[in-house]
Structure 1
Amino acid sequence: MTYRAEAFSGYFRRSLAALQARGADSPDGIGLVDALISAPIDSARIESAVTDALRPAREEAARVGDPSAGGPAVARGLRRVRQCLMMALAERDIRGLAPLEEVCTAMTAFATAVTREAMRQAAAELSAQFGRPLDGSGQPQDLLAVAMGKGGADELNVSSDLDLVFIFREAGETEGLPDADGGTRRRLPSAEFMHRLARRTIQLLADPTQDGFVFRVDTRLRPNGDSGPLVASLPMLEDYFYSQGREWERFAWLKGRVIADSGMAGDGARARDERMLESIVTPFVYRRYLDFRAFDALRELHELIRAEVRRRSVRNSGSIDVKLGRGGIREIEFTAQLFQVVRGGRDPGLRDRRTLATLASLSERGILAEADARALAEAYVLLRRTEHAIQFREDAQTHRLPADPQERALVAQMLGLSPEAFEPALDRARAEVQRVFDDLLRAPEAEPMDETAAAAAAAVSENVGRRIEALREAPRYRGAREETRAAIETLLARAGTQGCEERALLRLIDLIEAVLGRPAYIALLAQYPQAQSRVLKLLGRAKWAADYLTRHPILLDELLDGQLLEVTDYAAWEKGVREALAAATLNGQPDVERRMDVAREAHHAQVFRLLVQDLEGLHSVERVSDHLSELADRVLQVAIDECWPLVRQRHRERPRFAAIAYGRLGGKELGYASDLDLVFIHQDEDERAPEAYSMLSQRLATWLSARTAAGQLFEIDLRLRPNGNAGLLVSSLGAFQTYQRESAWVWEHQALSRARFAAGDTEIGAAFEAERRAILARPREPAALRDEVVAMRRKMHEGHPNRTALFDLKHDAGGMVDIEFVVQYLVLAHSHRHPELLDNAGNIALLRRAGAAGLIDAGLAERVAHAYRQFRELQHTVRLNDASFARVPPETVGAMRQDVRALWSAVLEAR
């Protein structure tokens, strides 16, 4: 075979000569290179090559009964396979046969295989002397090799170091082995055994021999770096993260992944240890709340790297460092990792270790502009391929593109480009990376803090001035870090110069006081002036919005979302919530409390997004209710799916259970703070069903209504179930049917007109809807029905007295309840002859249908439908400003109120 790599790589030429001298029949000779070149190189082919290369060593060790006898042959075999792999990847890359992903995943797969084989060789040698290492409970334990950086992310480059951290379970000692006299040989502390095991593993991988090395191994990312022990137990790692872990280490551990174990503890041990490791690492890397202090940490880390690059550049004038230099690979990785560290605690979908996958996720979520994400991804591919070409030249651990034009021309040719095309492409890529990265990390400009600006906020009113002084005197303000206090003063000055109303400034101070214990939120507002502008706009418009944001400051992050004003795809929203719930585990088991918080945070965020859209005038009140109702339906479905596995008495995989919505949710007229009126139904003949579904109902009600650290989802009202508070929490479908047909009061049939299936088993939902329609369509004596409806309306009116001169939009005569009662009467009285009234279509649509059917005057029906919409709009506006009652001056609704009273009289007072 003619190799194109010969023309470009001195390493390839030297290796080719060595392989040819080894002989054509060698299992790790030129035949292996040619075989690897012939097809895409994946993990299976690499595993096969490593197994074949180590077979002689294993056979020799087995023959003599001494694991250490195979050590030299293992070291030799691993090095020779590496040589063959490097040659094959170089040739495939230069021919344009291997995309970047193939090169990176092949090197990572090789690192995984050789680390495992080296560890197991070392473990066999040491176990033959001391027995297996045990934990504190006397159980065998393994040493785990955690690959950091590119090795953990499946992105290893061709001449990379392998960054490893060695972890074991806990302190103990080796089991020992019998000696010739029948006694037990000296035992070692397990930590000492693991230390020796790690040292021997590194030796097998990194010590240079006549065959070269396998990987240079770097262990400086372990706790306390070079000054710490080579291996760490899980308790030690947890203590280190808690007491000493630094911000930059969160970025390092973000990509950490176990790639190998020593194979001493048996099946299942690794999975258990990995779960324990994950439970320690995840809360260290990913905080439950958005952590915008990570911006400052990354600025500091990047400045250290830039300083080192500047020092090196003095010695390498004119060269370009494609990894660490400006606009290089590291800046792309930092961009992805920054958003992962800041947001990954709330969004598990951002925890992918791979850079390109993360950039795609950031673009999908609108966190990073699509054009910027695409530019970074294209630059990443070009820069990584350039890095590989440089390294293929001499197998040198370098990332510098030489200044020499001839050398650069050769690198361009390796990439299949002309020098005339390569240089501008590289310049454009680096400029784009630098632009995006600098925009991301640009520190907020200090606000002008002259006397006028500083006093602007306080000058709005005496109330604002007093509140600001009280804030500054508060112990939490005085105890805050200097940068936090400075950020607060910046926020106040910025707000004062924007001409805000008093109420917006007072609510801003409320918000600042609420988040003083979480300086990340102060940092967010200081970092993004546009976020503060949106906050002030919200605070000034609606007190309910201000209170909601103050209760849930985690929602501040939503203000940075480029898709904030776009309509939500609720199927995608639910999918994201389920992914986040699945990721909320503790020691490999569902973390129920965290999952409840996850659901609350996701629901609050979506309500807040809808609120912002609402205040921007993007939705009618009906559309707002439609969104809130669909959101509630999906939360109910998620909650059922979460609660059923918690029921010990469950007797089937999927529950035959449904949640039926009544009231505002049933009519899809939900408001921001509405309760959920629910009835639970099952259809299951199993004798265990009543107990199981009763427990599910209890758990579901608690899951939805309990207040946790993240707040509450909904207040739940279950009093509309058969027999009210005296009835069972859940009824069988048959019992529900019997009750509705034989025992239900008229008002319960009125309520049924606004009921619908919301979540759970769809077959039960269909059966419920059929029964609902059958009951509503039963013929009724109009006069008796009218008397019942009027009596119930009178009772409701007495229960909501209004002693003010204002008109209560909901409860006063001529208001919303009158309209709803009229519609319910029309449904119950006439749907047996007019089935179009059976649909749960909402009051406005049903009024129009009744008018079209001639049951009421069509013109009056249209005017009352308009009044109902206007009443809802007014109620919505008043409630957003946190009024206890939805009341307005009567003259503002006089004509509409008269229309409602006229309809009431025509329908319910006629004889």
Structure 2
Amino acid sequence: MLSQLIEKLPSSVQAATRHNVDKAEAACTDLKNIPDRFNEDLIRVLTGSDYVAEQLKRNAGLLADLQATNDLYRTYDTGEYAQQLAQKLSVADSEMLLHMLLRKFRQREMVRIIWRDLTRISDMRATTADLSALADACIDQALNWLYNECTGKWGVPHSVASEDVPAEPQQLVVLGMGKLGAYELNLSSDIDLIFAYPEKGMTEGGRRVLANQDFFSRLGQKLIQALDNLTADGFVFRTDMRLRPYGASGPLVCSFAAMEEYYQDQGRDWERYAMIKARVVAGDQQAGAELQSMLRPFVYRKYIDFSAFDSLRSMKEMINREVRRKGLHGNVKLGSGGIREVEFVAQAFQLIRGGRDPRLQQRELLNILPLLPETVGMPEQAVAELTDAYTFLRNAEHCIQAVADRQTQELPTDEVGQARLAYSMGCDSWDSFMVELDRQRARVTEHFANAIAPAEEAEEESDQSSEWLLLWNSDYSDEEGEAFFIENGVDNPQQAWKAFSSLKSSRSVQVMQAVGQERLLAVLPKLMNEVVGVENSAETLERVLKLIQAVIRRSAYLVLLAENPGAMRQLVKLCSASAWFSETLAKQPVLLDELIDQRALYSPPSKEELQADLRQQLLRIPEDDEEQLMETLRYFKSAHSLRVAASDITGALPLMKVSDYLTWLAEAIIEVVLEIAWRLMTEKHGVPYKTKGVPCDPDFVVVGYGKMGGIELSYGSDLDLVFVHDAEANLFTEGKKPVANSVFFTRLGQKMIHILNTFTTGGQLYEVDMRLRPSGNSGLLVSSLKAFEEYQQKEAWTWEHQALVRARVIAGSVGLKQKFEQVRANILQQQRVLPELAEEVIKMRKKMRDHLGTSDKDADEKFNLKQDKGGIVDIEFIVQYSALAYSHKFPELIEFTDNIRILDAMEGTGVIPASDAETLREAYKNYRAVGHRQVMQDLSTTISADHLDDCRTEVIRIWGAQVK
């Protein structure tokens, strides 16, 4: 049967296969009830692997055992390697027997894994996962056996006891690095390990007392011998310890404190790169998790790590030089377009952005690649090509190593070896294999070249750039500095020179380290060339240099600008147009990253996308980490506000859409703030009851008034909010610390205000104004719906009913929202005596104008857009008066809460002439547009009295005709 199958093989591999079949003949004689597939698979495996043939020759019962257990054709359960090995090692009574049992176990499982790989029962990822699980089991079970053996001699290592904490027993922590750490071990990998232990101390209970360092060093040496020593039974895994602190010259084992100190003070960029894949593979898993948490800040910087560019570029060039120098074309790992280049692409982005995006803090390459389109903008096609190439290359690597269990990635150079590799890879011939290999490597080469752009070739700096550096490095007088700016066409040379010289002489610049100085000088000439090209160049320079001043101590941001000229241009353009924009960036330089992707910068998301994006970001934060939740909310708000501002400044979004987006942003944030506060409160006190036996759902709403309610938020707007619940006040929550419903909802409101109002390193989310609640500042923070309705019916002033026109529910219970809307409608649709209503509205309007408007002596020269006669508030009062006066006849007047749509309804019902409605709409838009521009330029909303004079005149006329 086997001979017939051999004859069906390509003639070029038949002799090698026949040789291996002869070698394994004894192993095949004990097989029973063999299905056809088994023989076909056996021939395929023996064609591809001399190692399997050798193992079957040495252990004639091995194949029969694997067949009888069906291990060749089934997937092991999680932990099965460890369970099987622990059972085998239970009989080991000496280190010599331990070594033998480990090697026998490894041989059996390697035959199984190679069989499954060459027959493609397992795909590439399953093969690497199996190999990694096998290594984990061997390391951990050997460590457990040796730990017990060592503690019998020298006692159990303990930490040093203190008054508060007793001495705790300690175990070794084994970190697996590289492919082992990432579950990506290949068929003949070395394993890279690092040994650590929690704390210094001494052993207790042994025949000799040893310091923990000495104990764990001896244990580590024994573990290496158990895995690495070459005996008559071979080895388990070649073990490499050179990735530990200080490399081969360093101690074999370090305490956690020593590890942290080393990486913090001396850790190099390549060690960060290596540590990405570190994983606790054996020993004390809990202590290992603590160690990795300690080392995470070394690997992943808190913000986008643009300082990694230079080191990554150097590493990339080193890879290129090595390929050229060693002529590694025949190496599927190290050659051009090989496995190492795919790994570099993924790990480079992990280093740069992993601190900002925890999704990138994973080890396995094929988990990282699919994230790159969303996280770094890599095209989907590029990811698909890299994934396919990596899979092909790793399969080829396994086929190469399956032949003799040798650690090599070199393509065979002999005809038989080439034919066997092509056959194992499923190719018709060596030529067809090479065509596919070259195609895959060419794709990798292309994407590797694009991953980290090479430094631009050193060109002679332009005369202009040299002049800017000369200006920076020279000791110019004020007259000379101003003259320089005059020559360069700056509109206000005095202002420009003052800003420039102020930065130059600042203490933060004077104490900069050399690397920071280099980065500043690399970006300064380019920045100055951009700035002098805008109209308000001096003002822009002042704004941009304030930002530079803010980031001087975190010079990675300077690298960001130097590496991204497009981002620099956007920065100058947007700072030129908006003081608000530059001030926001200066306060939160981390937002500079938002300038890089211009597609996102000028395409604000929809409300649904905002909600989904925010929830996705919060999923990455532990629910009990309130501080991190608050920081994430603040960054989210700032980043999206910045995007809206960019679209606003460049005219990509009209004013009304800007307000829509800013309002949606606030709504999305308030929704999750309510969810967070509700969860924190219910975890502490339990869920409140709406009625006896009926839990709240949460029967709580947040009502937005003013600009929030009217969908007219601007940058920096505060939020006018009112909280309402609908639960019986005398009931209690059902938790371990029950409180009355009234207390629960008050604390819920306080918690929300705390999350929104508190200043953190990320700033403040929103300033919350609660003065529009029933009875204002003297009233309860949270009202029941019943109390709210009674207050509005019996005690509320007319101006409070005016405010209710712009009120809408923005978060909370759907059922209570509907009830609130009905209460609102009932209040607003009351029939009123029009002269009395007009008198109250006019009185309130005059009071506001007297307190907030322009004084009489300045009225001929200045016009306050909002408060002066004929301004924004006049239009708002016309709208509110009309809603209160006529909504009992025309309910559509209170259907919406924004002024424009209420004016539309007034026109549609005939409450106001169409021409007057159009006049008010246009005046309102004009006022808001001018006010908006003033705010963006950090200017007052009071403008020249003759500006918008036509609008004012018309609004005054309509006020007199409408409010009467």
TM-score (norm 2): 0.85
Which of residues 894, 900, 903 is equivalent to 1:847? 903
1:600 shift after superposition: 1.4
1:410 shift after superposition: 3.4
Q: Is 1:96 equivalent to 2:128 in the alignment? A: no
Alpha-carbon separation, structure 1, partners of 2:223 and 2:633: 45
Which of residues 73, 79, 87 is equivalent to 1:38? 73
Residue in structure 2 matched with residue 252 of structure 1 by the alignment = 274
Residue in structure 1 matched with residue 761 of structure 2 by the alignment = 709
Residue in structure 2 matched with residue 153 of structure 1 by the alignment = 182
Alpha-carbon separation, structure 1, partners of 2:178 and 2:874: 67
Retained in 1: the 8 A contact 2:807–2:897?
Answer: no
Alpha-carbon separation, structure 2, partners of 1:452 and 1:329: 44
Alpha-carbon separation, structure 2, partners of 1:516 and 1:438: 31
Residue in structure 1 matched with residue 718 of structure 2 by the alignment = 675
Corresponding letter in the other structure for 1:726: S
Q: Is 1:191 equivalent to 2:213 in the alignment? A: yes
Retained in 1: the 8 A contact 2:544–2:572?
Answer: yes
Residue in structure 2 matched with residue 725 of structure 1 by the alignment = 777
Residue in structure 1 matched with residue 883 of structure 2 by the alignment = 827
Which of residues 617, 640, 658 is equivalent to 1:624? 658
Residue in structure 2 matched with residue 410 of structure 1 by the alignment = 420
1:404 shift after superposition: 5.0
Retained in 2: the 8 A contact 1:633–1:759?
Answer: yes
Residue in structure 2 matched with residue 265 of structure 1 by the alignment = none
1:130 shift after superposition: 4.0
Which of residues 509, 519, 524 is equivalent to 1:492? 524
Retained in 1: the 8 A contact 2:172–2:195?
Answer: yes
Q: How does 1:414-453 map to 2 (within 5 A)?
A: 414-418=424-428, 419-439=430-450, 440-445=452-457, 448-453=460-465
Alpha-carbon separation, structure 2, partners of 1:275 and 1:646: 26
1:131 shift after superposition: 4.3
Alpha-carbon separation, structure 1, partners of 2:601 and 2:399: 42
Q: Is 1:123 equivalent to 2:150 in the alignment? A: no
Alpha-carbon separation, structure 2, partners of 1:766 and 1:187: 75
Q: Is 1:902 equivalent to 2:957 in the alignment? A: yes
Which of residues 552, 560, 579 is equivalent to 1:524? 560
Retained in 2: the 8 A contact 1:50–1:113?
Answer: yes
What is the SS of the residue equivalent to 1:622? helix
Residue in structure 2 matched with residue 796 of structure 1 by the alignment = 848
What is the SS of the residue equivalent to 1:345? coil
Which of residues 297, 301, 305 is equivalent to 2:315? 301
Larger displacement relative to structure 2 (812-821 or 361-370): 361-370
Classify 1:486/1:146 alpha carbon distance in 2 versus 1 (closer, same or farther; 3 Å).
Answer: closer
Q: Which structure 2 segments of 5+ residues have no match?
A: 1-37, 161-165, 469-483, 689-696, 733-738
Retained in 1: the 8 A contact 2:867–2:873?
Answer: yes
Q: How does 1:552-571 map to 2 (within 5 A)?
A: 552-561=588-597, 562-568=599-605, 571=608
1:862 shift after superposition: 2.7
Alpha-carbon separation, structure 2, partners of 1:571 and 1:352: 28
Retained in 1: the 8 A contact 2:227–2:236?
Answer: yes
Retained in 1: the 8 A contact 2:244–2:250?
Answer: yes
Corresponding letter in the other structure for 1:330: R
Alpha-carbon separation, structure 2, partners of 1:400 and 1:832: 87
Larger displacement relative to structure 2 (900-909 or 471-480): 471-480
Cα offsets for 1:388-413 (capped at 9, x unmatched): 22222222112222455654443333
Q: How does 1:852-871 map to 2 (within 5 A)?
A: 852-871=908-927
Retained in 1: the 8 A contact 2:85–2:137?
Answer: no
Cα offsets for 1:115-174 (capped at 9, x unmatched): 221222122222333443333332233322222222222222222122222233222333
1:250 shift after superposition: 1.9
Retained in 2: the 8 A contact 1:50–1:78?
Answer: no
Cα offsets for 1:306-335 (capped at 9, x unmatched): 555556x2xxx5643322333322222222
Retained in 1: the 8 A contact 2:701–2:816?
Answer: yes
Retained in 2: the 8 A contact 1:104–1:156?
Answer: yes
What is the SS of the residue equivalent to 2:159? coil
Corresponding letter in the other structure for 2:935: R
Retained in 1: the 8 A contact 2:349–2:376?
Answer: no
Retained in 2: the 8 A contact 1:82–1:214?
Answer: yes
Residue in structure 2 matched with residue 180 of structure 1 by the alignment = none
Retained in 1: the 8 A contact 2:171–2:197?
Answer: yes
Corresponding letter in the other structure for 1:143: L
Cα offsets for 1:265-318 (capped at 9, x unmatched): xxxxx44x245224312222222222211111222334445555556x2xxx56
Retained in 2: the 8 A contact 1:809–1:888?
Answer: no
Corresponding letter in the other structure for 2:466: A
Retained in 2: the 8 A contact 1:289–1:345?
Answer: yes
1:864 shift after superposition: 1.7
Retained in 2: the 8 A contact 1:159–1:397?
Answer: yes
What is the SS of the residue equivalent to 1:320? coil
What is the SS of the residue equivalent to 1:133? strand
Q: How does 1:142-181 map to 2 (within 5 A)?
A: 142-176=171-205
Alpha-carbon separation, structure 2, partners of 1:680 and 1:87: 68
Residue in structure 2 matched with residue 5 of structure 1 by the alignment = 45
Q: Is 1:396 equivalent to 2:406 in the alignment? A: yes
1:690 shift after superposition: 2.9
Classify 1:763/1:481 alpha carbon distance in 2 versus 1 (closer, same or farther; 3 Å).
Answer: same
Corresponding letter in the other structure for 1:370: E
Retained in 1: the 8 A contact 2:610–2:665?
Answer: no
Q: Is 1:652 equivalent to 2:707 in the alignment? A: no
Cα offsets for 1:50-84 (capped at 9, x unmatched): 534542431x36xxxxxx44x55554444334333
What is the SS of the residue equivalent to 2:201? coil
Which of residues 905, 929, 934 is equivalent to 1:878? 934
Cα offsets for 1:238-287 (capped at 9, x unmatched): 2223222222222222222223325xxxxxxx44x245224312222222
Larger displacement relative to structure 2 (415-424 or 114-123): 415-424
Corresponding letter in the other structure for 1:377: T
Q: Which structure 1 segments of 5+ residues have no match?
A: 62-67, 178-184, 263-269
Residue in structure 1 matched with residue 506 of structure 2 by the alignment = 474
Alpha-carbon separation, structure 2, partners of 1:135 and 1:117: 24
Classify 1:731/1:148 alpha carbon distance in 2 versus 1 (closer, same or farther; 3 Å).
Answer: farther
Larger displacement relative to structure 2 (499-508 or 603-612): 499-508
Which of residues 695, 713, 719 is equivalent to 2:747? 695
What is the SS of the residue equivalent to 1:142? coil
Cα offsets for 1:555-592 (capped at 9, x unmatched): 1111122533334255555555455555556xxx9443
Residue in structure 2 matched with residue 642 of structure 1 by the alignment = 676
Corresponding letter in the other structure for 1:36: D
Cα offsets for 1:736-781 (capped at 9, x unmatched): 2332222222111211221222223444333333322222222222
Alpha-carbon separation, structure 1, partners of 2:806 and 2:330: 70
Retained in 2: the 8 A contact 1:49–1:81?
Answer: no
Larger displacement relative to structure 2 (694-703 or 381-390): 694-703
Classify 1:197/1:690 alpha carbon distance in 2 versus 1 (closer, same or farther; 3 Å).
Answer: farther
Retained in 2: the 8 A contact 1:814–1:901?
Answer: yes
What is the SS of the residue equivalent to 1:37? coil
Q: Is 1:330 equivalent to 2:364 in the alignment? A: no
Q: CA RMSD in A?
A: 2.8
Alpha-carbon separation, structure 2, partners of 1:760 and 1:219: 57
Residue in structure 2 matched with residue 65 of structure 1 by the alignment = none
Alpha-carbon separation, structure 2, partners of 1:724 and 1:684: 22
Q: Which has the larger radius of gyration?
A: 2
What is the SS of the residue equivalent to 2:205? coil
Alpha-carbon separation, structure 1, partners of 2:624 and 2:809: 28
What is the SS of the residue equivalent to 1:229? coil
Corresponding letter in the other structure for 1:904: W
Alpha-carbon separation, structure 1, partners of 2:121 and 2:88: 32
Larger displacement relative to structure 2 (3-12 or 205-214): 205-214
What is the SS of the residue equivalent to 1:365? helix
Alpha-carbon separation, structure 2, partners of 1:404 and 1:610: 63
Q: Is 1:454 equivalent to 2:453 in the alignment? A: no
Q: Percent identity?
A: 37
Alpha-carbon separation, structure 1, partners of 2:924 and 2:782: 34
Q: Is 1:210 equivalent to 2:232 in the alignment? A: yes
